[in-house]
Structure formats: structure tokens, C-alpha cells
């Protein structure tokens, strides 16, 4: 019988071993790896936590290549849970902690995961989700909290689970499934992008080394959480690939909290999204808050030039804007230190090729002409779980259709012109207009609705709802926004509700969203003082 390690076309490789055990074996086990609210870990201690998590998952019946969903706060247990699952050959699925019970229930059922790991603060949401996911058999909690699971579901505490510690990782290959990340990015409702073990090494080498030049002396601090592709690279893949350390923050970040962590932990690399950089500018934190940070990084949505300059002027911080995607696992276009082109996403990251194509699929080579952005690189996901038609539309041979419209500048950088479809972003997170519209249409005062993007005072896009009132009804904007907050994750809510007599439509009845965007363009921008 042929051994696993000789599988044709794929070499043996385990991402968790690469990120953690490799350093211990090389004599770097006493280097600091993690700074978190619950404590600190050296690489040797992290290795022990990873193997303990692998043993815990195996003790409740998790098998290689089986999904394990984690709805958890950024802390040691989530980090060890993700790496422990990969170590024993399973597939971790970190999921947004901002989801409501029904939203979490949908992706939990879609993933067919039998095990859900939960932080205590999300127990209520998880309880509702498990009720909608009949295949769940086990829930693992990271602390003592009441959890009234439905019949047939076993509830465990992480610290109470025991098993035989594995001496070595499971025999995964470079092409073995390593990680699923749910996204609404290119085509609407959430779907799982499936990533390989070797993709983790690739993004670390391409962006972590090729753009940021991370060394063992660096310390990474990310506002984006571990359940984001952006966040898991910032806080896990990049620091651990190079023997550096990561700073984890369990709670929701605020400018004041971030300022405190920057002072106490002295990170050298700071990652955030434009919306948070805007919040920092509008806060009263000290101007020298970023004195110890050698580089700021931004992704999730385009960083407006005015925001870049305000950050530079006030904090003395150079921010590298870039674009990545869940499907690509991390950033593939980025500015470089000392060579920032404000208003652009920079140039291709080493290891990636990009193309702009017109509506007929022909490549655009001239500068200044808009086109659909296509990407090629070895970190691209193998496809979407159980979404064959969507996979064919997005993953086209070696190329990924990103769904973004870009143009190439004379200096070789690329600038974003918006989405190629109707998707929009709020705070760096994809929002499906259809999902928000569906919620609003459930309200008795709403007859028709269309959700489009409008820029706020800092030039950042936010959802705005254009509503046609139901017969004999009155539209109350505050009431509708609260209605969305109750049924959707808070970031999906409209930032404004505008009442219209009718929605502009084409001859075939399709909503003309481009017309609506023009009509609401100034709705979130305060009028200048006279």
C-alpha cells in the first residue's frame, strides 16, 4: 500500500506544525508567541496548547477532514482551537461572532459541522443556532455558562476534555483541506471558501515577508478578528510563520482600548480597516499613540486619500492600503513602505498576477481604463462548499474573478472603482443588499426597498435604504434601523433610511441601483456650515 507521504502531486505538509512546532524544533521554543487577555504563551507552551486542543477534539469523535465550527472571541482558546483542528487533520471553521442566532444557525447547518466551540459571551446566540442545526452533536464552551442544549447535544468544557496528546501532526498534504472561511463577498449569501494547508504558507511568504518584511522581533496587533481572512493572517499566519508574536484582544475594539494596548504591549505592526482608522481620527487619543508602530496596514475596503493623509499628519503613521479577499485568503494588491500611492491599492504582491478584463473577457492593458479585476495565485481557494454554479462563475481555471472594478495607473499601481455587482461593504465587511432588503420587507410599513452604498463624511461607503411606504403607512427611519438591528448583525443595518415615491427601474423591472446611488450620494455627508 502506498504511504500517505508519497501521494503523487502533493507533498506532506501541515500548516499548524509549520506555524508552531517548527520553531520549537529549531530551539526557539522560549520565544514569546502570544499575548492575550487570559495570559501569555511561549512557542513551546503554544505547541502544548495546540496538541491539547487536538486531543480534546479527537476525544469527542472529531475525525480528519471533518469540520469544526468556532464562534469564539479572540483569545488563546480560539487560537489553539483553530491550530489544534488543523494539527489533527480536521478543518476549523471560525465564524463571525457578530452573527445573530438564525444567521449562525444557517451557516452551521450548511457546514454540516457536528462540533461547535463557543465562547461564553456568545452562548445565547449559539444556543439558538444549535436548535436550527440538527447535525450538531457536541458543543464545547470556554468557560462556565448556562447552555440549555436541545436533546441529544452533549455540552463540554474545554478544560475538562482530555485525550492522548498526539506526538506528531496528522499526515496532511499540501493540498489537504485546512480551513474554511465563510464569505458573502462576491455573490450574496454566505458560502464557505475552502483553503488548503499550503495556502497558509504561501500568504505568509508572499505578504508577510514580501511586503511587510516581518521578523522575529515584530509584534502584530489586529483590530480585525481571527474569523476574518484578513484577521487570521494578521494575528496567526504572519507572526507565527516568522517566529514573531501576536497580541489578541478578546473584546470589541474601541479607539481608547486600542490606545491602551498600543501603550502596554508595544506592537510594531498595526492592522485595521478604514472605518476604524476614521474612528481613531475622531477620538481624543494622544497624537503619539502610534510612536512605537513601524507600519500601519489597511484592508477590507478602499482607504480614501484624505483619510490616509489625515492619519499621516496626526499620528505620523504610514498606512499601507491593500485589497484581499476571503477567496484569496489575504491581501494580493498592496502599497509598499515609502512608495504609497494614496487612493490606490498598490501593486501585485509577490506570487500573484492580476488582469483587468472588459465585458467581453478581453484583457485591458491601457492605463486609466476600468475593467473587471481577475487574480491568479496559489493561495486561491479550491472553491465554495456545495456551490457548484457559483464556483464556476468565480473560479475560472487558474483565475479568480474578484467582482471588483479597477483601473491601472501609470506607475503600475491599481485603483478601485467599486464593485462589479451590487455588493457593498460596511466597516470592511461584505453586506448583501438582498439580505438587508429581505429584513426590511418584513416590516409592515415597507412596500418596496433597495439598499445601496453612500459615502459618509470620511468617504467610507455605508448602507442606505431607499424605501417605498406601504399603503396608508408612515416610514419611521429610526424604527426601521432598529428593526434591522434586531434581525441582523449590527454592521448590516442601514445608516440612513430615505423615503421615495417609487424606485427607478429598467423596462424589465430591475432596480436601477446606479440611479439610486446618485440620488443618495450626499445623504450621509453633513452639509457645510454657512
Any idea what the CATH number is for the domain that residue 372 is in?
Answer: 3.40.50.12780
Same domain, 163 and 212: no
Is 151 inside a domain boundary? Answer: yes
Label residue 202 by pLDDT band (50, 70, 90): very high
Same domain, 138 and 62: yes
- What pLDDT, on a 0 to 100 scale, did the predictor assign at position 457? 87
- Enter the C-alpha cell of residue 480: 426601521
Same domain, 152 and 215: no
Label residue 3 by pLDDT band (50, 70, 90): very low
Mean pLDDT across the stretch 192-214? 98
The residue among 419, 442, 466 that closes a domain is 419
Same domain, 332 and 414: yes
Is 2 inside a domain boundary? Answer: no
Structural domains in the chain (count): 3
Answer whether residue 156 shows pLDDT above 90: yes
Kindly report the average pLDDT of the chain as a whole number: 93
Specify the higher pLDDT residue, 434 or 315: 315
Same domain, 291 and 436: no
- What pLDDT, on a 0 to 100 scale, did the predictor assign at position 1? 30
CATH number of the domain within which 82 lies? 3.40.50.980
The residue among 419, 442, 477 that closes a domain is 419
Same domain, 436 and 411: no
Q: Rounded to an integer, what distance in angstroms lies between the CA atom of residue 44 and that of residue 25?
A: 9
Is 185 inside a domain boundary? Answer: no
Is 506 inside a domain boundary? Answer: yes
Using DSSP, state whether 483 is helix, strand or coil: helix
- In 3-state terms, the chain is what percent helix, strand and coil (to 5)? 30, 25, 45
Of 161, 176, 175, 65, the residue nearest 111 (C-alpha): 65
- Enter the C-alpha cell of residue 166: 498526539
Answer whether residue 321 shows pLDDT above 70: yes
- What pLDDT, on a 0 to 100 scale, did the predictor assign at position 508? 58
Same domain, 271 and 383: yes
Label residue 2 by pLDDT band (50, 70, 90): very low
Using DSSP, state whether 416 is helix, strand or coil: strand
Mean pLDDT across the stretch 175-183? 96
Same domain, 444 and 340: no
Among 74-78, 273-277, 421-425, name the one with the lowest average pLDDT.
421-425
Write down the pTM of the prediction. 0.87
- Enter the C-alpha cell of residue 486: 434586531
Same domain, 144 and 108: yes
Using DSSP, state whether 410 is helix, strand or coil: coil
Is 440 inside a domain boundary? Answer: yes
Is 375 inside a domain boundary? Answer: yes
- Enter the C-alpha cell of residue 203: 500568504
Answer whether residue 8 shows pLDDT above 80: no
- What pLDDT, on a 0 to 100 scale, did the predictor assign at position 4? 44
C-alpha of 262 from chain center: 22
Q: Rounded to an integer, what distance in angstroms lies between the CA atom of residue 506 and that of residue 514?
A: 11
Q: Rounded to an integer, what distance in angstroms lies between the CA atom of residue 408 and that of residue 247?
A: 36
Pairing mode, strands 269-272 and 295-298? parallel
Q: Which residue has the cell 521554543?
A: 29
SS3 readout for 421-451: CCCEEECCEEECHHHHHHHHHCCCCEEEEEE
Q: Residue 412 contacts by C-beta under 8 Å, 6 or more apart in sequence?
A: 347
Full residue range of the structural domain in which residue 505 is found: 432-519
Q: Rounded to an integer, what distance in angstroms lies between the CA atom of residue 252 and that of residue 250?
A: 7
DSSP state of 526: P
Task: Write the DSSP string, 214-276.
Answer: --TT-EEEESS-TTSHHHHIIIIIHHHHTT-EEE---SPP-HHHHHHHHHHH--SEEEE-HHH
Is 193 inside a domain boundary? Answer: no
Same domain, 83 and 214: no
Specify the higher pLDDT residue, 456 or 20: 20
Among 4-13, 320-329, 366-375, name the one with the lowest average pLDDT.
4-13
Same domain, 95 and 213: no
- What pLDDT, on a 0 to 100 scale, did the predictor assign at position 420? 73
- What pLDDT, on a 0 to 100 scale, did the predictor assign at position 145? 92
Mean pLDDT across the stretch 106-112? 96
Among 57-66, 72-81, 467-476, 504-513, name the one with the lowest average pLDDT.
504-513
Of 209, 142, 210, 199, the residue nearest 175 (C-alpha): 199
Answer whether residue 434 shows pLDDT above 50: yes
Label residue 325 by pLDDT band (50, 70, 90): very high
Q: Averaging pLDDT over each range in 96-100, 288-292, 431-435, which range is the top one?
A: 288-292
- Sign of CA pseudo-dihedral 382, 54, 200, 168: negative
Q: How many CA atoms lie within 13 A of 158 on its CB side?
A: 23
Mean pLDDT across the stretch 42-67? 97
Is 508 inside a domain boundary? Answer: yes
Using DSSP, state whether 327 is helix, strand or coil: coil
Mean pLDDT across the stretch 180-204? 87
Q: What is the CA angle 243-247-251, rounded to 5?
A: 155
| Percent share of the chain, pLDDT over 70 | 96
Mean pLDDT across the stretch 521-528? 78
pLDDT digits (tens, 9 = 90+) for 248-279: 999 999 999 999 999 999 999 999 998 899 88
CATH number of the domain within which 485 lies? 3.30.300.30
Same domain, 214 and 107: no
Amino acid at each position: 500500500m502506498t504511504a500517505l507521504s508519497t501521494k503523487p502531486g502533493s507533498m506532506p505538509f501541515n500548516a499548524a506544525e509549520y506555524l508552531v512546532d517548527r520553531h520549537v524544533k529549531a530551539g526557539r521554543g522560549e520565544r514569546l508567541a502570544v499575548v492575550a487577555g487570559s495570559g501569555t504563551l511561549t512557542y513551546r507552551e503554544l505547541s502544548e496548547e495546540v496538541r491539547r486542543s487536538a486531543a480534546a477534539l479527537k476525544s469527542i469523535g472529531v475525525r480528519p477532514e471533518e469540520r469544526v465550527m468556532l464562534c469564539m472571541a479572540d483569545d488563546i482558546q480560539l487560537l489553539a482551537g483553530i491550530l489544534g483542528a488543523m494539527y489533527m487533520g480536521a478543518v476549523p471553521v471560525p465564524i463571525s461572532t457578530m452573527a445573530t442566532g438564525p444567521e449562525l444557525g444557517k451557516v452551521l447547518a450548511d457546514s454540516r459541522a457536528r462540533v461547535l466551540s463557543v465562547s461564553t459571551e456568545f452562548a445565547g446566540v449559539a444556543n439558538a443556532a444549535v436548535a436550527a442545526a440538527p447535525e450538531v452533536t457536541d458543543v464545547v464552551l470556554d468557560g462556565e455558562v448556562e447552555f440549555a442544549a436541545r436533546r441529544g447535544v452533549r455540552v463540554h468544557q474545554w478544560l475538562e476534555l482530555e485525550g492522548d496528546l498526539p506526538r506528531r501532526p496528522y499526515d496532511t498534504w499540501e493540498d489537504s483541506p485546512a480551513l474554511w472561511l465563510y464569505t458573502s463577498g462576491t455573490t450574496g449569501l454566505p458560502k464557505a471558501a475552502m483553503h488548503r494547508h499550503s495556502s497558509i504558507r504561501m500568504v505568509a511568504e508572499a505578504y508577510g515577508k514580501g511586503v511587510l518584511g516581518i521578523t522575529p522581533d515584530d509584534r502584530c496587533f489586529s483590530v480585525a478578528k481571527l474569523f476574518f481572512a484578513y484577521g487570521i493572517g494578521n494575528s496567526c499566519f504572519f507572526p507565527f510563520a516568522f517566529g514573531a508574536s501576536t497580541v489578541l484582544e478578546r473584546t470589541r475594539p474601541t479607539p481608547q482600548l486600542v490606545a491602551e494596548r498600543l501603550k502596554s504591549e508595544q506592537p510594531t505592526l498595526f492592522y485595521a480597516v478604514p472605518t476604524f482608522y476614521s474612528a481613531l481620527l475622531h477620538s481624543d487619543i494622544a497624537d503619539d499613540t502610534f510612536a512605537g508602530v513601524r507600519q500601519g496596514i489597511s484592508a477590507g475596503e478602499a482607504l480614501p486619500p484624505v483619510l490616509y493623509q489625515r492619519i499621516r499628519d496626526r499620528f505620523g503613521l504610514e498606512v499601507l492600503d491593500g485589497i484581499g479577499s476571503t477567496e484569496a485568503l489575504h491581501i494580493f494588491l498592496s502599497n509598499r513602505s515609502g512608495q504609497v500611492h494614496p487612493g490606490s491599492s498598490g501593486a501585485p504582491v509577490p506570487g500573484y498576477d492580476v488582469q483587468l478584463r472588459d465585458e467581453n473577457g478581453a484583457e485591458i492593458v491601457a492605463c486609466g481604463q476600468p475593467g473587471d479585476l481577475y487574480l491568479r495565485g496559489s493561495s486561491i481557494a479550491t472553491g465554495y462548499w456545495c456551490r457548484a454554479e457559483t464556483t464556476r462563475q468565480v473560479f475560472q481555471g487558474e483565475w479568480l474573478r474578484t467582482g471588483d472594478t479597477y483601473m491601472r495607473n501609470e506607475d503600475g499601481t491599481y485603483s478601485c472603482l467599486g464593485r462589479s455587482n451590487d455588493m457593498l461593504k460596511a466597516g470592511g465587511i461584505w453586506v448583501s443588499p438582498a439580505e438587508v432588503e429581505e429584513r426590511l420587507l418584513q416590516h409592515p410599513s415597507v412596500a418596496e426597498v433597495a439598499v445601496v452604498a453612500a459615502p459618509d463624511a470620511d468617504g467610507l461607503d455605508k448602507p442606505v435604504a431607499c424605501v417605498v411606504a406601504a399603503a396608508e403607512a408612515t416610514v419611521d427611519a429610526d424604527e426601521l434601523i432598529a428593526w434591522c438591528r434586531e434581525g441582523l448583525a449590527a454592521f448590516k443595518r442601514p445608516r440612513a433610511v430615505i423615503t421615495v415615491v417609487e424606485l427607478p427601474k429598467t423596462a424589465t423591472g430591475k432596480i436601477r441601483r446606479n440611479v439610486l446611488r446618485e440620488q443618495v450620494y450626499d445623504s450621509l455627508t453633513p452639509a457645510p456650515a454657512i
